[in-house]
């Protein structure tokens, strides 16, 4: 359910699809939800309704991608369903239209491949899950893919590496928008110590 509008708050629209990864979604949502005056969370899908995750848990999307009003920050996760979306032209067209007026577009893990397939990362730097990296970089003609990165921030695009890195990216996003004190507070509340160096990536060598 979308939280009530708070003056000065930012709306974060999380794009769900069949087979999305739970932690890709609820890691960022958990740390954002600590700051209800700063962030409002909305679940969005191709159509409003229940959407099954890779783990089988179903989550309700309260908005459809055709509902384009009030789009601010968009987050695209990954999950086992990401491969099917790369050739789903209807979904990619819907996503492209949905984010047209977005202020920021973010992705977790192979969600960056979905953005690239939709043409939403052309001319940007980005990263993705290292275990899927060679498959991800086939998408996007002018994307500058960075293999060694916990996350990448390039202008109005943010992309994180695999799964848990999405929480670190979100903490960095909070710091960028509302300052390091807000990010530190959010981490403290959920007892999470975010990685603050986007170039610290031990998984690039594994």
**pLDDT-based confidence at 4, cuts 50/70/90?**
very low
Answer whether 51's CB lies under 8 Å from 58's CB: yes
DSSP 205: G
Calculate helix-pair angle for 165-178, 22-33, nearest 10 degrees: 30
Structure-token pair, residue 140 = 């996007």
Tell me the per-residue pLDDT of 12-40, one tens digit each, with 9 for 90 and over.
999 999 999 999 999 999 999 999 999 99
Cβ-in-10-Å burial (0-12, 13-18, 19+) of 113 comes to: buried
- Domains belonging to the chain, first-starting first, are 10-197 (3.40.50.880)
The predicted structure's pLDDT at residue 1: 39
In this prediction, residue 205 has a pLDDT band, given cuts at 50, 70 and 90, of confident
| Per-residue pLDDT reduced to its tens digit, 40-68 | 999 999 999 999 999 999 999 999 999 87
pTM (2 d.p.) = 0.93
Q: Report the pLDDT value the prediction gives residue 86, as an integer from 0 to 100.
A: 95
pLDDT over 70 at 7, yes or no: no
Question: What one-character DSSP code corresponds to residue 187?
Answer: H
**What is the distance between the alpha carbons of residues 120 and 112, in angstroms, rounded to a whole number?**
9
Question: Which band of pLDDT confidence, cut at 50, 70 and 90, is reported for residue 2?
Answer: very low
Measured CA to CA in angstroms, residue 43 lies from 65, 130, 160 at distances of 10, 27, 19
pLDDT at 165: 96
């Amino acid at each position: 359910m979308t939280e009530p509008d708070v003056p000065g708050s930012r709306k974060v629209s999380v794009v769900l699809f069949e087979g999305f990864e739970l932690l890709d979604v609820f890691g960022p949502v958990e740390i954002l939800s600590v700051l209800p005056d700063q962030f409002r969370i909305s679940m969005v899908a191709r159509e409003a309704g229940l959407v099954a995750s890779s783990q089988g848990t179903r989550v309700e999307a309260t908005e459809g991608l055709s509902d384009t009003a009030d789009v601010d920050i968009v987050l695209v996760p990954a999950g086992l369903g990401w491969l099917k979306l790369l050739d789903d032209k209807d979904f990619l067209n819907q996503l492209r239209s949905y984010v047209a007026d977005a202020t920021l577009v973010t992705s977790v893990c192979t969600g960056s491949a979905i953005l690239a397939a939709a043409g939403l990362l052309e001319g940007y730097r980005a990263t993705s899950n290292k275990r899927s990296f060679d498959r991800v970089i086939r998408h996007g003609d002018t994307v500058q893919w960075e293999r060694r990165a916990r996350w990448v921030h390039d202008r109005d695009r943010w992309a994180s590496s695999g799964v848990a890195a999405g929480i670190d990216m979100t903490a960095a996003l909070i710091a960028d928008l509302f300052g390091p004190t807000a990010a530190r507070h959010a981490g403290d509340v959920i007892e999470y110590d975010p990685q603050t160096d986007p170039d610290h990536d031990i998984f690039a060598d594994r």
